[in-house]
Amino acid sequence: MEWGPLFLSIKLAACTTLILFLFCVPFSYVLTLLNPRLRSFIEAGSNLPLVLPPTVLGFYLLIFLSPTSALGEFLESTISLRLVFSFEGLVFASCIYSFPFMLQPILAGMQSLPRQIIELSYILGKGRFQTLLRVIIPMIKPHLVKASMMTFAHTIGEFGVVLMVGGNLPGVTRVASVSIYDHFEKMNYAQAHYTSLVLLVFSFTLLWFLTTLTASDQTRNAPKFS
Amino acid sequence: MIQQCLLTCLCLLSICLSSSAWSSALRVACAANFHLPLEKISKNFAKDRSTETPQLVFGSSGQLAAQILLGAPIDVFLSADMQRPQKIYTRGMGASEVKPYALGRLILFTRSTLSSHIISEVLLNPGIRWIAMAKPDLAPYGRAALEFLSSGGLESKIESKLVYGENVMQAAQFSMNAADLGFLSRSTLSLDIFKPYDLRGKHWLKVDHKLHTPIIQGMILIERGSRNPEARTFFEYLQSEKSREVIAGFGYALPEISRSSGDL
Amino acid sequence: MHLNFHKKLWTESGPMPLQVTLELEPGALLGIHGPSGAGKSMLLRCIAGLERPDEGRIEVDGAVWFDSSQEIFVPPQHRKIGFLFQDSPLFSHLSVDENLKFACSDTNSRKGLLEKVGLTGLSKAYPSALSGGQRQRIALAQALARQPSLLLLDEPFSSLDPFIRTSIQNLIEDFHKRCSLTSFLVSHQMEDLLRMADRVVEVQEGKIISDLSRNQLLEQTASKSLRVQGEIIQTSDLNSYMISGNSVYPLNGMSKDSPTQRQQVEMDIELKVKEIRVVGKKESEIPGINGNK
């Protein structure tokens, strides 16, 4: 049983989820403050990773970021960062690939908040940032958890993008999904089944744990207005 | 709560970024169908030279080649054909000429029992529903299978029954599951799963290799690898007698040892 | 307080410019009356800073909150106002005490406010467990927690039943006097304004079409003096009613010495009538009654 690929998958999913979370919360907030036309334009753009087949997305990322391209060369020479065939590259690609899964539920949550609640916070002296921190985030906690769960699960299951951008390098970018596929290709079915099972059980346990967290929260204070 | 989150975030990010990608280990990319011989040769190499086993990356020759062209950290590339390593060479990323390392051999395989010892009869049997093969435009084994079918005028007759895998390994997977027949590489029989079916005449028939253009599998030393002396040594080792014996043992034919490169 | 601004609004029937010119003395309670969609709420929101007028100037107690010619716009966070929204929203993820803490960190003031609204025991409760009337009291306490000088009330009574309405009105009046507030009260029901406001402006289609003091307004409405004999009862939410025969008169403006137990009394009641609605056989709802002893 190889634990390396599993550990890599979990690490990748955790990093991606964290980074996307930290980005998408303020990003969603800014979106809600924009005028509707601009917002829908940006929203549509942010859904593009859903439309492209993962391998195609991976391929284009590879082209744009490889050290043979202008951008890749620039990144390597200035901050010694190579975003292809490296774990950092996987994180970057996963963030793009899983972006809609984090953004959509958070945005939906924020838009579902009554405008009056936000205005109430302003009236009571809190600025935009304080309002985000003390009012919006606590009130959309179920949406935040859902977004994180979906992003995490989606990243664990990522294959096409990871294979393209990562290159299946053992110990570096050979995540569980790629490893399982490798075993299938070589027809080592026993290994494939075993790794899949462990991955499934782990992911399910984690998601179940997170779901029970939100359930208990919701019974405590059911959001209800007037 | 916010502070805790930020701390966790920073910790995780630092862990993530500390794992550097660009190690100095020897990395060999290879077509999926050749994985058994290469694994054995790598083990021999490590034992003979008392070094680390090279890291092996298997996949579709097309995808591997594309990634190498875009900078993948690979030292040696073993393709299922000659064209892809040739492309790497013409782009100036090769540190050696393209050397053939194996000649692929095609077989017709069935999980059940062959109805005849003549391939055309087997293929035309009305009881056959699906025949698996690799994609002709992408995979050398697929191209060879198609050429074979055309030579016997069989292509049009069984066209509707053909099912395509991305490469010859995928065709093997189909043959183990839903397909009644499959055009596979002879080396597939060395896989554990196929060993019980290694009964010539009962489960498989040899496809006459004169009826298709040779499946020449070629390899090349990549520019990056030439800086690593181990890589060049491994490249030479692949051409040694010992390695050639291993390759032959897995059902491949051996190319003549020649100094010239290009299409044979 | 000087208000002079206009803002272009859009309705179903087309553009409707909101044009507001008002001067107000500190300590006044201004009623804003008009049909739905007239622009009353928008007026309030402009004063609060939740909306930005197109042009004009808003000056409060010498501070300029908005001036289009000088491009001044003070955001709502920096205008010290209390705002009571229509359905008294509260932060559902915070308890009552935490809701007040959001506005004011001083424990004693919070305790005092809760006492004044009569809900001391509910400090640990969550908004979802409160009734409509209770929520509004908390919202009122929250609005006043920062000790604003200006209080804006946007249709605070419309979602309340008549029995609770009176007690909230009393509470607001009490606060208004005690904290020396300047208040704006928006309502589409004149009886509320007659009871509470000392000046009422009428807004229709974005324009102020009348601006009258309470006395002037009362003179305009019909009134009738009645001698009524009946029983005064007080319900559990501290509202008083005069029951005479088949009629029930909600009594407003009862002083502390008003009879609180069921007793037979004879009283002079002045009825200020805008409209009479007979609701049922036993009860006639007569809005806008001032009880005089």
Three-state secondary structure call for residue A33: helix
Q: Both C117 and C203 in a single domain?
A: yes
Helix (H) or strand (E) holding C58, with range, is strand C55-60
Q: Over 70: is that where the pLDDT of C87 sits?
A: yes
Q: Enumerate the domain spans of chain B.
A: 25-103+215-249, 106-206
* C210 within 8 A of C201, measured Cβ to Cβ: yes
Name the domain boundary from C193, C218, C243.
C218
* CATH number of the domain within which C73 lies: 3.40.50.300
- The least confident of A53-67, A193-207, B248-262, C19-33 is B248-262
Q: Do chains C and A touch (3 or more CB pairs under 8 A)?
A: yes
d(CA C37, CA C24): 24
Q: Over 70: is that where the pLDDT of C273 sits?
A: no
Q: Both C229 and C203 in a single domain?
A: no
Tell me the CATH architecture of domain B25-103+215-249.
Answer: 3-Layer(aba) Sandwich (3.40)
Q: Both C229 and C213 in a single domain?
A: no
**Pseudo-torsion of CA B2, B4, B9, B15, nearest 10°?**
170
Which pLDDT score is estimated for B1? 55
Name the domain boundary from C178, C200, C218.
C218
Please give the average per-residue pLDDT across A2-11, as a whole number. Answer: 90
CB contact under 8 A, C91 and A123: no
Chains that touch C (3 or more CB pairs under 8 A): A
Q: Using CB atoms, which residue from B12, B16, B59 is nearest to A168?
A: B59
* B216 within 8 A of B103, measured Cβ to Cβ: yes
d(CA B168, CA B61): 11
Q: Over 80: is that where the pLDDT of C83 sits?
A: yes
Q: Both C143 and C284 in a single domain?
A: no
Please give the average per-residue pLDDT across C54-81, as a whole number. Answer: 88
Q: Over 50: is that where the pLDDT of A209 sits?
A: yes
Number of domains in chain C: 2
User: Chain-centre distance of CA C29, in angstroms?
Assistant: 9
Which of C29, C14, C42 minimizes the C-alpha distance to C206? C42
- The least confident of B11-15, B17-21, B64-68, C210-214 is B17-21
* B120 within 8 A of B97, measured Cβ to Cβ: no
Q: What is the pTM of this model?
A: 0.77
Q: Over 50: is that where the pLDDT of C290 sits?
A: no
- The least confident of B247-251, C62-66, C67-71, C283-287 is C283-287
- Rounded to 10 deg, the angle between the B2-18 and A4-33 helix axes is 130
Percent of chain A clearing pLDDT 90 (strictly above): 56
C-alpha distances (whole Å) from B62 to each of A83, B65, B85, C22, C207 are 21, 5, 10, 77, 74
pLDDT band at C293; cut points 50, 70, 90: very low
Backbone angles phi, psi at C240, to 5 degrees: -110, 145
**What average pLDDT does the structure give for chain C?**
79
A 10 A CB-CB count for B216 gives 21
Q: What is the CATH number of domain A4-34+47-215?
A: 1.10.3720.10
Q: Which two tokens stand for residue C259?
A: 């009879």
C-alpha distances (whole Å) from A47 to each of A41, A96, C222 are 10, 10, 64
Name the domain boundary from C190, C218, C246.
C218
Q: Over 70: is that where the pLDDT of C259 sits?
A: no
Which of C93, C125, C131, C102 minimizes the C-alpha distance to A223? C93
Q: Both C142 and C275 in a single domain?
A: no
Q: Over 50: is that where the pLDDT of C246 sits?
A: yes
- Chain C contact present for A11, CB below 8 A: no
pLDDT band at B264; cut points 50, 70, 90: very low
Q: Over 90: is that where the pLDDT of A81 sits?
A: no
ipTM score of complex:
0.76
Which pLDDT score is estimated for C7? 78
What is the 3-state composition of chain C as percent helix, strand, coil, each rounded to the nearest 5? 25, 35, 35
Q: Both C161 and C200 in a single domain?
A: yes
d(CA B140, CA B34): 13
Q: Which domain holds residue C278?
A: 223-292
Q: Which one of A124, A131, A140, A219 makes the best mutation probe of the C interface by having the most chain C beta carbons within 10 Å?
A: A124
Q: Enumerate the domain spans of chain A.
A: 4-34+47-215
Q: Both C23 and C110 in a single domain?
A: yes
Q: Both C15 and C63 in a single domain?
A: yes
Q: Which two tokens stand for residue B156?
A: 């049009």
* B29 within 8 A of B64, measured Cβ to Cβ: yes
CA A149 to chain C, closest CA, distance in angstroms equals: 22
Could you tell me which residues come within 8 angstroms of residue B26 by beta carbon, excluding any fewer than 6 positions away? Answer: B52, B54, B55, B75, B76, B225, B228, B230, B231, B234
Q: Both C273 and C196 in a single domain?
A: no
Question: DSSP string covering A93-122, please?
Answer: HHHHHHHHHHHHHHHHHHHHS-HHHHHHHH
Could you tell me which residues come within 8 angstroms of residue A78 by beta carbon, excluding any fewer than 6 positions away? Answer: none
**What average pLDDT does the structure give for chain B?**
87
What CATH class does B106-206 carry? alpha beta
pLDDT digits (tens, 9 = 90+) for A195-207: 999 989 988 998 8
- The least confident of A146-155, B69-78, B130-139, C262-271 is C262-271
Q: Do chains B and A touch (3 or more CB pairs under 8 A)?
A: yes
Q: Both C87 and C58 in a single domain?
A: yes
* A96 within 8 A of A65, measured Cβ to Cβ: no
Long-range contacts made by residues A135-141, C-beta under 8 angstroms, separation at least 24?
A: A135/C91, A136/A29, A136/A110, A137/A25, A138/C93, A139/A113, A139/A223, A139/C91, A139/C92, A139/C93, A140/A106, A140/A109, A140/A110, A140/A112, A140/A113, A141/A214, A141/A217, A141/C93
Report how many Cβ contacts below 8 Å link chain A to chain B. Answer: 96
Domain B25-103+215-249 shares a fold with domain B106-206: yes
